[in-house]
Amino acid sequence: MTAHEIDYRIYGEEMQYVEIELDPQEGVVAEAGSFMMMDDGIKMETIFGDGSQKDSGFLGKILGAGKRILTGESLFMTAFYNNLSGKRNVSFASPYPGKIIPVDLTEFRGKFVCQKDAFLCAAKGVSVGIEFSKKLGRGLFGGEGFIMQKLEGDGMAFVHAGGTMSKKVLQPGEVLKVDTGCIVGFTQDVDYDIEFVGGIKNTIFGGEGLFFAKLQGPGTVYIQSLPFSRLAGRVLATAPRGGGKDRGEGSILGGLGDILDGDNRF
């Protein structure tokens, strides 16, 4: 194996974190900001790109970091190494309520494609790159654009799904239609395209967007019930406007009730 063999344990229900057990000289790479805690003796190092290519040279590191810019991520990742003789633990937390999905790349022939903000951490040696969409319609209307992330190698990687996660194993020719924002990731054999919802009423009044994501097997697909964009949209919709109080959800009078009970000052 080229990637480090790591052991792990996932804790929690709604707000999960993954604890990685590192043997001596083992390492793990993670997105900046996902770190939670670590044992004494673990060395933390900021690196260009994912650090999967040891002898790529300066130009190779720049290209690796440039790929991350295209996916909207930071130029840098953080690597954690156990340089001591005993085992040490390091933990990484999910960014919002949901589930952490362990992905053994050896089970998926060395490649897994995921949305741009799903990746959490991986064993040192796993390559975190970009996957370009070869279909114009998918790139323009697929919700994730022309670029998704791809995880390659023979080690463990961990991705995050918002809300509740659903794993679907598609048979050859089997089709699954999904909201474009609800896709977490899929294996390399899955054919991913977009499909127009159709119908004037559905298009104008349906409220579900103009397009479905069409996933055709064979392969494995991971679906999330709460995309971060949907969560952020709900939060913004209920946020106080102009620095005022809440908007009175749950009350028949709503904001009028605040005026009547004297809470609003003029």
Give the Å distances, CA to CA, from 202 to 109, 164, 211, 236.
Answer: 39, 26, 10, 25
**Within a domain: 126:** yes
Of 101 and 54, the structure prediction assigns the larger pLDDT to 101
**CA 189 to chain CA mean position, Å:** 20
d(CA 110, CA 151): 8
Name the residue among 45, 55, 100 with its Cα closest to residue 76.
45
CATH number, domain of 109, equals 3.60.160.10
**Within a domain: 203:** yes
3-class SS of residue 28 = strand
d(CA 230, CA 182): 9
Overall average pLDDT of the 151-172 stretch: 93
What percent of the chain lies above the pLDDT cut of 90?
38
**Within a domain: 249:** no
Number of domains, the chain:
1
> Is the pTM of the predicted complex or chain greater than 0.85?
no
**Within a domain: 61:** yes
d(CA 149, CA 136): 18
Give the Å distances, CA to CA, from 8 to 22, 45, 50, 122, 241.
Answer: 9, 21, 20, 11, 44
Overall average pLDDT of the 158-176 stretch: 93
pLDDT at 147 over 60: yes
Q: Which long-range contacts (CB under 8 A, 24 or more apart) does 247-255 make?
A: none
Residue type, 242: G
Mean pLDDT check: name the lowest of 75-89, 146-160, 206-220: 206-220
